[in-house]
Structure 1
Amino acid sequence: MAQHQAFYERTSESRFSPTEHTRGPWDPGSQHAGPPAALLGRALEERPGARTDMRLARVTYEIVRPVPIRPLEVTTTVVRTGRSVELVEAALTPEGGAPVMFARALRVRTLGEPGPAVAEGPQVPSPGGTAETPFFAVPWDVGYHTAMDTRFTEGTFRERGPGTCWMRMRMPLVAGEEIRPLDRVLVAADSGNGISNVLDFERHVFVNADLTVHLHRHPVGEWVCVEARTSVDPAGIGLADARLHDEKGPIGRSAQSLFVAPR
């Protein structure tokens, strides 16, 4: 039975202790990349001195090694700042170790008043009335797979091929702190390779070494939809490409480069 009801507990301004809800499907000692991606995304947006007239439009993560379930330090650096855009970096470092995950974000200045209206594109079926969809079999009882509410409108975790899945956080990213819109999309975006898996989970690993998310707006409401497709080359390199939505319509895209190999 899980004792914590958040992905992380804050221990200082820049230090966080992950809970069992961050555990991914590949290794009991490693996190799913969604929660640390959201943690870095929040740091990029809310670092001291961050401009409030800018918003994250693109973020790319490099996952240089598995993120362990142990205390983590988050650091941020401004690479370049200008009148309309800025480039910011963040790193995630476990206690007593080297950085395991990097993020580089493009933040863009927002208009002080509404600009021209542009159609957002087709909507996917809403999560309302859709039954919760179980994850593929995971060897442990508590982890990311139990911390997220998942509802497919196309495919399932247990079927191979494209998938469209609505996802909702069951708990805050950080204990005692409000869930931000950016938390919701970054926690979910790293699941594209699982939603659209084309290989048997019990026979293959298909782990992503990076994640890029482009957002033309941040989500509204509790649900984020990942509409994903995966392609794999016989050489063992894959790509999971996804459209991202909320219940109002499209919000952006995500992409993951995959390492594919037999178990």
Structure 2
Amino acid sequence: MQASFTPDGELLVPSPTAASPWSDEMLNGHHMGGLIGWGVQRDSPDPEFQLSRMTVDMVRAVPMVPLRVETRRGRDGRRLRAVDVSVLAGDLEVLRGSAVLLRRSEHPDSEPYAPTPWDVPSPEQIEGGPTGPMSWEIRRINPWGSAGPGRVWMRETAAFVEGEELTPLVRAALMADFTNPLSNSGPDGLAFINTDVTMYLARDPRGEWIGMESAGHLGHEGVAFGTTWMYDQDGLIGHCVAGTLPDPRIQARQRS
């Protein structure tokens, strides 16, 4: 499959693989997280630091045009780094994000409460295949819209930037946006679009597959958010939160 972006000097040129399912003139939210994660890793490649938190603010629809990713170190400490990321189409900022990276160290001998590890079939045990023109594959652990938390395995099937290896951090960043459809869908489908997503990681994923499990939805008077747990095949690795607004256009498309 074609890489999602091709480098052209300081620009990244999106391919049709990166287009949204809602409009072929708009970048997919999946790739918005990827751009922020890619920018953070380009700015801070030090293996001693772990990306702890990444936030993506979807300030406007991102057009399918050459994009420039700019980063700025807000703090460059011995144990903590803070990075701001801006994605521009020409001179217009179309996407922004931020990240906090923490230096890896000896972990305390402590056992705070944590959720029970999930016990689900491996992705190899679940029937699946290509997801049309999309750059990822989904294997559903339970049926879409069924009672209880949604659970899926996902993996990226295309390079993010042509000529570059798809890193574990970027794999995780790409999947964070799926928090919205997974945690904010009900029996009648999805009624919300997300305006942001924040991902917390305790460690980078191992292997191609990333598991996502809905941890719940909360909303009132049109303002809502949904949360997910994030896994690899070795266990729990992180947590994502997506803020959302209702969008009648999504419901209309699902009914048509």
The TM-score, its normalising length taken from structure 2, stands at: 0.86
The structure in which a higher percent of residues are helix is: 2
Give the conservation status (yes or no) of the 8 Å contact 2:16–2:24: no
Whichever residue aligns with residue 55 of structure 1, its letter is Q
1:236 and 2:230 aligned: no
Whichever residue aligns with residue 253 of structure 1, its letter is H
1:105 and 2:95 aligned: no
- Corresponding residue SS for 1:128: helix
**1:4-153, aligned counterparts within 5 Å?**
5-12=2-9, 14-47=10-43, 51-94=46-89, 96-111=90-105, 115=107, 122-125=117-120, 126-132=122-128, 142=133, 146-153=134-141
Residue of 238, 243, 251 corresponding to 1:252: 238
Deviates more, 1:191-200 or 1:69-78: 191-200
- Corresponding residue SS for 2:28: coil
Whichever residue aligns with residue 176 of structure 2, its letter is A
1:178 and 2:156 aligned: no
- CA drift of 1:205 comes to 4.6
Residue equivalent to 1:219: 205
Whichever residue aligns with residue 14 of structure 2, its letter is P
- Corresponding residue SS for 1:37: helix
Q: For residues 126-153 of structure 1, what are the alpha-carbon distances to aligned partners after superposition, in whole Å with 9 as ceiling and x for unaligned? A: 2121012787xxxxx63xxx32110111
How far, CA to CA, are the matches of 1:232 and 1:79 in structure 2? Answer: 32
Residue of 192, 197, 207 corresponding to 2:193: 207
- CA drift of 1:195 comes to 2.4
Listed as ranges, the gaps of 5+ residues in structure 1 are 136-140
Q: For residues 157-176 of structure 1, what are the alpha-carbon distances to aligned partners after superposition, in whole Å with 9 as ceiling and x for unaligned? A: x6586311110111111112
- Mark the CA change 1:199 to 1:24 in structure 2 (over 3 Å): closer, same or farther: farther
- CA drift of 1:186 comes to 1.0
Give the conservation status (yes or no) of the 8 Å contact 1:193–1:230: no
Deviates more, 1:234-243 or 1:125-134: 125-134
- Mark the CA change 1:170 to 1:85 in structure 2 (over 3 Å): closer, same or farther: same
- Mark the CA change 1:39 to 1:177 in structure 2 (over 3 Å): closer, same or farther: same
**What percentage of aligned pairs have identical amino acids?**
28
- Corresponding residue SS for 2:92: coil
How far, CA to CA, are the matches of 1:128 and 1:253 in structure 2? Answer: 23
How far, CA to CA, are the matches of 2:109 and 2:140 in structure 1? Answer: 30
Listed as ranges, the gaps of 5+ residues in structure 2 are 250-256
- Corresponding residue SS for 2:99: strand
Deviates more, 1:84-93 or 1:158-167: 158-167
Give the conservation status (yes or no) of the 8 Å contact 1:190–1:211: yes
- Mark the CA change 1:239 to 1:87 in structure 2 (over 3 Å): closer, same or farther: same
- Corresponding residue SS for 1:99: strand
How far, CA to CA, are the matches of 2:109 and 2:2 in structure 1? Answer: 40
How far, CA to CA, are the matches of 1:153 and 1:15 in structure 2? Answer: 38
- Mark the CA change 1:18 to 1:230 in structure 2 (over 3 Å): closer, same or farther: farther
- Corresponding residue SS for 1:151: strand
Q: For residues 48-81 of structure 1, what are the alpha-carbon distances to aligned partners after superposition, in whole Å with 9 as ceiling and x for unaligned? A: x754421211011111001111110000001112
- Corresponding residue SS for 1:190: helix
The TM-score, its normalising length taken from structure 1, stands at: 0.84
Give the conservation status (yes or no) of the 8 Å contact 2:4–2:162: yes
